[in-house]
Amino acid sequence: MRAIGICRFSYPALGGFKRMHDTVEEREAYLYDDARMALRFRHFETLTLPSLAAQQDGRFAFLVITGENMPEPWWSRLNDVCASVPQIKVITKPPMRHRTAMQLAIKEELGEDDVPSLQFRLDDDDAVGTQFVRGIRRTARLSYRMWATWQNFVIEYSSGYAVRLGAEGILAQPVQGQFLACGLAVLFKPGDPKTVMNYGHHKLHHAMPTLIVPDEPMYLRAVHEDNDSRAAHSKLAPLDDGLRADFQNRFNVSEASVKEAFCAPAVPPGKG
């Protein structure tokens, strides 16, 4: 059984954003603004990458989809930081509907598509628990007698934390999600023409059976000024010693690394 994750990193899709633009050039100008890119990299490098690098089951591929015109120094930086995680593949796509671009990338990765696959999506400012890949494999294996007769099957870890990162560290709030993009995976049978990107994650339970694991925190979902979802959380609080250690052990996320990243210059030397 294969495990494949996918992430959109400043990809200039045609649609797929709540902030609309009239032309591809306008969208690229918005996406590749230095201040915005600095914010995205700060989250990607302190949340997403560490959580993937520390997966207890390394048998997965993670596709990072971006545009063909990402400027320097951001293009080199993206490739450099992703190179530290061997499971990651950076893939460029021309502008098209974002679901189409993501579906094509997954299908290309599947190739002959002759075994079941567990597919998941992750935003570039979120993290998953280091047991995520191991957990979805184990759940799929233990529940085989159920999903063997189903076309598809969702595994959702509904518990996690909303987090806000900054120079002072991490603010966090426990949350119980409802089919968020992070923390879930969909099982597909070999040869299925659809992928995880053919479905809105909030409506997966309308389309297929779902097994929910509610008691094990499995994701960190960032809240900041560039969130496309504009999520709002009113009970964010500083980490105590216990939660700080839990974030390190459970997600491989270091508050010290967050402070260092957010204290660094917002734009590359010589720019801005």
What is the rounded distance in angstroms from the CA atom of residue 251 to the CA atom of residue 218?
8
**Do 5 and 122 form a contact (C-beta atoms < 8 A)?**
yes
Q: Residue for token digits 């809240």?
A: 223
pTM of the model: 0.93
How far CA 175 is from CA of 93, 105, 234, 256, 269, in Å, comes to: 34, 31, 12, 23, 38
Write out pLDDT tens, residues 74-116: 999 999 999 999 999 999 999 999 899 999 999 999 999 999 9
Residue 230 has pLDDT above 70, yes or no: no
> What pLDDT was estimated at residue 227?
63
What's the topology of domain 2-263?
Spore Coat Polysaccharide Biosynthesis Protein SpsA; Chain A (3.90.550)
How many CA atoms does the CB half-sphere of 63 hold within 13 Å?
Answer: 23
Mean pLDDT of the chain: 92
pLDDT at 148 over 50: yes
- The pLDDT, as a whole number, for residue 98 is 87
Percentage, residues of the chain above pLDDT 90? 81
Residue 261 has pLDDT above 80, yes or no: yes
With a cut of 80, say whether residue 269 has pLDDT above it. no
Q: How confident is the model at residue 272 (pLDDT cuts 50, 70, 90)?
A: very low
